[in-house]
Each structure stands twice: as C-alpha cells, then as structure tokens.
Amino acid sequence: MVDSTISHTTPGSPASPASEAGSLDVQPGGDTAEQFPVLQHKSKGRQRLLRGLQRISSSQSLRARISRPRASSAPYRSSASSLSCVSLASTPSPFGQPSSSSSYFSFGDVSTAPTSVAATPAVETPGYDGIESVLAVRKVDHPVSAPMTISLPTEIKKRAKIFNFWDTIPNEIKIYVLSFLSPKELVRISRVSKRFHELCFDGQLWTEFDASKFYREIPAESLTKILETAGPFVHDLNLRGCLQIEHMQRAQRLVAACHNLYSTSLEGCRNFQRPTLHTLLKANNQLVHLNLTGLPAVNNATCKIISRECPDLETLDVSGCTQMDARGIRFVLEGCPKLRDLRASSVRGFSSDADVATAIFSTNNLERLILSNCSDMTDDTFRTMILGPTPEFDMLTNRPLTPPRKLRHLDLTRCSRLSDNSIKSLAHVTPHLEGLSLSNLTQLTDSALDPIFDSCPNLTHLDLEELPHLTNSSFTALSRAPCSTKLEHLSISGCDSVSDVGMLPVFQACTSLKSVVMDNTRISNLTLTEAADMVRNRSLSPPSSASSSPPLPRTTLELTVYDTPLVTWTGVLEILSRNSEPLMARPAKDGVVEIGGGRKGKEVIGLRCFHTWQMTVDEHTRRVLKGDLGGARRVERKWAEYMQAENEMEVAGGWRRRRRVTAMRAVLEEDQGVHQQGHRGRERGRTVGCAVM
C-alpha cells in the first residue's frame, strides 16, 4: 500500500523494495513500458483523491505543489529521474494527459506520502480490477513513476503556466490598452514596474491633457513632470484653474517642453508670468485655439507676439485681460488672417483707436465676435466695424452697399453707449447672423430691431434682456419675420413693456422654440396657454404606421416666468395639466384615429415660476418625465384644491378655513416630501399671487 502511494509521488523512483518503510526518498528509476499504461489508468482516479488529500497535507507539500513546476523541479528532480524521462520519451502521447497531471503531483514532497497513504487504496477506478493484482505485484517490486515525468506534456504545462501575456504583446497594443485609462489612473498604474512607468508616461497617451477635472488635486511637480515627459506630443493643453504652476519656476520647464501645441487654455492661471507666456507663444507656431481669459500677464506686446508667431490662429479668447487694450486686438487681426472667433469682452479702448474697427471690417473672416462689456465702444466705432470707414449707400433703397459680413454670432451685452444708429447698421449686411445678444443696451428701441428681424433669416438665439423701450410691435414683427420658424432661444427678461400682445404671435409662429425667458415682463396666463398649445401641436407627428411603445416624455420647451405678476397659479396649473395629458389622438386622413406623438414621444414644458410654486411644479415634472401621469395628476389636483382653499381663506378668512388650508398644505408637502430638502419646507409663504418684493 505504502509503496503504491509512494510510486505516485516520487518521480522515477527505482524499482526498489520499499514496501516496509514507505521510504521517502525520491528514487530515480526506470520503468518498463508495459507497466506504464496500467499505471496511467490507475493514476486518474487516484490522482483525484491524492489531489484532495494533498490539499490538507503539510505545508511543505502545498508549497511544492503549487509552486511552478520549473522552479520546484530543480530540487526534486534528480538526474536519475530525468533519465527515466528520457527513457520513456518514446511512449505515445495518449497518456500524456494523465501523466502530466500525475507529474504535477510528482513534484510533491515525498514527506506527504505517509499521510495520504492510508486512504488511497480505498479508491479504485471502476473497471480496473485487474490493476489491483498488478499493483499488488508492483507494490512489492518497486514504485514506479517514471511515466509521470514525460517531458512533452510537462513542457506544455510549463508554457501554459508561465506564459506572460503582457510582455509578449507589441508596444503599440500596450499603448492602445492604456489609452482607455483616465490620467489619474495612468499615474497610479505607472507605479507597477519600471517598464510600466515608461509606458504610462509615453507621450502618445498624453496628447490631450485636460486638467480642468483634477486641477485642484494634482501637485505642481507631477503636473510639470508629466508635461515634460510628454513634451512635444501634447497637442491640447487645458490648464484651466491650475494656479500651482508658477510655483518655483516650474512653468518655465513646462513651456520649454511643449512646443507642438495646437489648442491651449490658460484660463484662470493668474500667476502665470509674462515672459513665460511669451516663451510659450514663441515656441508654438501651430497654435489654432488659444484661451487666455482673465490673465493679467497678457498685454499688447503679447498680442504682437501672437500675431507674429501664430499665423494659423483661429480662435482667440482674451476676455477679461485688463492689461491689454484694443490695439492688441488690431495686431492680432492683422497678423492672423484665419481668425474666426474673437472673444474680447471687457477689453478697453475700442473707441480711442479707430483702426481697430477698420481692421475688424477689413478681415471679413470673423464668424463669432464677442464684445460684451466694452462699455467705451461708441456708435461710430461699431458702425465702422460693420459697414467700413466710408460706406456707400444705395440711392434708391438707402441700404449700404457693403459686401455681406460673415458674422454668425455677435454679442454686445452692456455696451451701453450703443444706440439705434449703429445697431441698425446690422440690418441687410449680416445675412448669416444666427446668434445676437443686445442685452442691456438700454437706449435701443423698436426701430433698430425691426430691420434686423427682416433681414436675418437664420436667427436662432436672441438675447434682448433689459431693454425697457422695446414694445410689443417688435415682437409682432419677429413673428412675421423669416427667422421665426428657426428661432430656438429667446430672452426678454426685464423688458417690462412687453406683454401678451407681443408674445402671443411669437408663440404661434415660432414653432422651434426651445427656451424662452420671460421674467419681469407683463405676460399673463394667456401666453402660457398659447405656449402649451404650440408644444402640443408640434408634438403631433404624422401618424406613424408601426409605432412601438413611444419613448419617455422629454422637456422640449423651457419657460422662465418668475417675477411676472400677471401669471397666476391658474396659468401654471394649465401648463401642468397639459403636461400630464396622455398622448393626443389626431384623426388621420382616412378617418382612422391614430395616436399622435408616437414616434417622437410626448413633449413636456419645463417651467420656472414663482418660487413658492416651484416645488410643486418640479415634482409634477419629475413624475411626468418618469411616465407616471396618474401621480402627476394627483399632484395637480391637490395643489389646485390647496390654492383654491387659500384663495377662499384670503377672501373670507375664518379659523375653520385656515385649519383646512394648513391641513392641505401638510398633505401636499408630504406628498412631495420624498424629494424635498429639509430646509425648503419653510419656504412656502402665504402669498397667493406673485408679490413684488
């Protein structure tokens, strides 16, 4: 018994009579081929048991068992056993499988043999009864295990165990794999090994460095090191808010390393020094997008350098650069013919230097021009910008004969010195205008806007906030204008002369509206109803033949109507009830009623109203967007009851009514309580209408 077990565990043990002792040496020995096949059949079942038993055997065996064959083979394989391997190398491979597994266990320390001895004989593979007799013979004779060490299967096993995937794949694939990691993860992984370190800081992984996600956490030294290693590979560099750069001259190292930049943003790096900035600009001649918002380091000399060194510049943002003025803009315009997008808000000096305006006019390449907060810009300057220094006028129509401007976006917010005279000049000369912001130009009247609406058929964004002289006639003109069907965003916040008369036609005509800001105007519930009608009409898609379950509702129109005293809770309730209506049916041509909105889904209006009602509205919208129309209608009903009770209480108050109202309010709040934040519970004031503070 003992020997048979030993024969399994010892590789190539010799045919020596070791029956009594259960000798524990690894005895090399050859074996004859005929014993070999028998042994293999036996070994399958026995191995399983052995495996199980060896698991609970002493640690030595465990260590030896799970260690790599290659490593463990050295101490346990003596030359003699290898001899046995050689001698049996010619045996056919069908026995390779079991023998390999047995050879696996043959590396086990022989000392385990005694513990596993007793149980082994109990297990016998079925159908191998004859083996036992043979076994018995062999037990006496000699333990046999040479077949267990057939080299071929071991080799295969060895390869399977030590195959190092990562090392063998080519570098490009490794880089591809690493490219899916975020910068933070890359830095973490770089600590695995030296090779990983080299790989992780390979420049190809850092071509786009966007620090705006982790600008607070990354220490200056790491930032500099990464950029230095990546060096010329970095194309897009976004260092927004990285104040730590200027610590101890690190910026200079950084700047020296990056000379292939394509797009850079240094927004908010207020510690950046001027010489470093200049070095950066001089080194990067291929810059296309440049954002230097709010940098005190930027001055006119910087602009000169930009114009000289970066001829390919297309986007420049120098908003809030207090140390430069309009002359710098002129340098840039003269030196960068490809400039398409110029953002120069809060830049001074537009009126003192007449050439800037001429420069802007002559390069007809600008598509986006943002000159907000340039409060010293005068009418003449702006007219020159648009029409040129000496425009000619057509004698009959009195229209300017300038070639059309390529302007698509124009922002003149708060340039309060501009008046009708200059804004009128935008008409007929800017046919491609899509976005126009004339907020806070308090001198403007209708006469400036009407010609613009007539001649700019592509307007999508219109910002007309705080224009107190605007009246309803502008908006009726807007509703008749060619751009009415394309208009998407309209803001008339603070235009307190505008009322329903102007806005109703707008809502009827402008069917692509996505957001309308109408706070602080004189609109009333009628406008809200009109808006709801428009949304409902446009959500009725033509009957679709095979509409599966429609998608969830989505908010397609945002209305902002706080601070409007004429919008009461009934108007808001109207919007809510329209939102919670089921999909409308619309009769098709052949009289069959089809469900409209099938393919597009229900369109919901998002509403921002008086703050006391805002919670109810939010809760209602949440439920509608989830598809829970029944729940939304419950909220509506409760709120309507509550508001009516409050109304009655105001009119003819009494303690009974007051109690009912407080009870209703509690129920209402509880219903919405799931989504409430604690502190907002107190905000439900008792005012019914929208009280002006």
Partner 1 sequence: MGLTYNTYLNSDVIYGCKNCKAHLANAHDIISRNFRGQHGKAYLFNTVVNVETGDPSERNMTTGRHVVRDIQCRQCKDVVGWKYDRAYESSEKYKEGKFILEAELLCKVT
Question: Kind and range of the H or E element at 316?
Answer: strand 315-317
- 512-531 residues in contact with partner 1 (CB under 8 A) are 519-520
Segment interacting with partner 1 (CB under 8 A) among 73-81, 334-342, 646-654, 679-687: 679-687
Cβ nearer to partner 1, comparing 293 with 384: 293
691 counts as binding partner 1 under rule CB under 8 A = yes
Smallest gap from residue 370 Cβ to partner 1 (A): 8
**Residues in Cβ contact with 182 at an 8 Å cutoff, skipping those fewer than 6 apart:** none
- 600-659 residues in contact with partner 1 (CB under 8 A) are 611-612, 614
Among 5, 154, 276, 293, binds partner 1 (CB under 8 A): 293
Smallest gap from residue 693 Cβ to partner 1 (A): 5
Question: Kind and range of the H or E element at 291?
Answer: strand 289-291
**What stretches of 427-568 show up as alpha helix (H) in DSSP?**
446-455, 472-480, 500-509, 525-539
Among 294, 335, 543, 596, binds partner 1 (CB under 8 A): 294
Among 563, 594, 619, 636, binds partner 1 (CB under 8 A): 563
Which tokens is 60 given?
């030595």
Among 493, 524, 539, 579, binds partner 1 (CB under 8 A): 493
Partnered with residue 209 across adjacent β-strands are 237
320 counts as binding partner 1 under rule CB under 8 A = yes
Cβ nearer to partner 1, comparing 148 with 342: 342
Count of residues touching partner 1 (by CB under 8 A): 38
Tell me which amino acid residue 288 is: V
Among 41, 240, 259, 638, binds partner 1 (CB under 8 A): 240
User: Quick one: angle between helices 2-9 and 35-55, nearest 10?
Assistant: 90
- 179-238 residues in contact with partner 1 (CB under 8 A) are 212, 215-216
Smallest gap from residue 251 Cβ to partner 1 (A): 14
Smallest gap from residue 243 Cβ to partner 1 (A): 5
325 counts as binding partner 1 under rule CB under 8 A = no
Segment interacting with partner 1 (CB under 8 A) among 80-88, 120-128, 399-407, 678-686: 678-686
Cβ nearer to partner 1, comparing 656 with 679: 679
Give CA–CA dist 362/174, Å, rounded.
Answer: 51
Among 27, 384, 413, 422, binds partner 1 (CB under 8 A): 413
Cβ nearer to partner 1, comparing 159 with 682: 682
Q: Please provide residue 577's backbone torsions phi and psi, each rounded to the nearest 5 degrees.
A: -70, -35
Q: What angle do CA 351, 353, 354 make, to 5 degrees?
A: 85
Smallest gap from residue 519 Cβ to partner 1 (A): 6
Cβ nearer to partner 1, comparing 233 with 562: 562
Which one, of 487, 664, 636, 496, lies nearest residue 572 by Cα?
636
Beta strands in 392-544 (DSSP E): 409-411, 435-437, 461-463, 489-491, 515-517
299 counts as binding partner 1 under rule CB under 8 A = no
Tell me which amino acid residue 109 is: D
Instruction: List the x/- string, 360-399, binding to partner 1 by CB under 8 A.
Output: ------------xx--------------------------
**Cβ atoms 539, 600 nearer than 8 A:** yes
Which tokens is 355 given?
């050439």
Smallest gap from residue 562 Cβ to partner 1 (A): 5
User: Quick one: angle between helices 655-671 and 629-651, nearest 10?
Assistant: 160
Give CA–CA dist 288/285, Å, rounded.
Answer: 9
- 47-106 residues in contact with partner 1 (CB under 8 A) are none
Which one, of 316, 356, 314, 354, lies nearest residue 337 by Cα?
314
End-to-end distance of the chain based on CA atoms, in angstroms? 101
Which tokens is 540 given?
């009725």
**Residues in Cβ contact with 385 at an 8 Å cutoff, skipping those fewer than 6 apart:** 357, 360, 361
* Region class of 169: left (phi > 0), else alpha (psi between -120 and 50), else beta: beta
Among 63, 70, 197, 270, binds partner 1 (CB under 8 A): 270
Cβ nearer to partner 1, comparing 417 with 536: 417
Smallest gap from residue 55 Cβ to partner 1 (A): 55
Burial of 683 (C-beta count, 10 Å sphere; 0-12/13-18/19+): exposed
Cβ nearer to partner 1, comparing 88 with 211: 211
**Cβ atoms 217, 198 nearer than 8 A:** no
Cβ nearer to partner 1, comparing 563 with 619: 563
Among 203, 231, 241, 457, binds partner 1 (CB under 8 A): 241
Segment interacting with partner 1 (CB under 8 A) among 113-121, 197-205, 381-389, 677-685: 677-685
Partnered with residue 515 across adjacent β-strands are 489, 558
Give CA–CA dist 39/357, Å, rounded.
Answer: 99
Segment interacting with partner 1 (CB under 8 A) among 26-34, 60-68, 150-158, 680-688: 680-688
- 327-356 residues in contact with partner 1 (CB under 8 A) are 345-346
Which one, of 168, 185, 160, 40, lies nearest residue 99 by Cα?
40
Which tokens is 100 given?
């390999």
442 counts as binding partner 1 under rule CB under 8 A = no
Residues at the contact surface with partner 1, assessed by CB under 8 A:
212, 215-216, 240-241, 243-244, 268, 270, 293-294, 319-320, 345-346, 372-373, 413-414, 493-494, 519-520, 562-563, 611-612, 614, 679, 682-687, 691-693
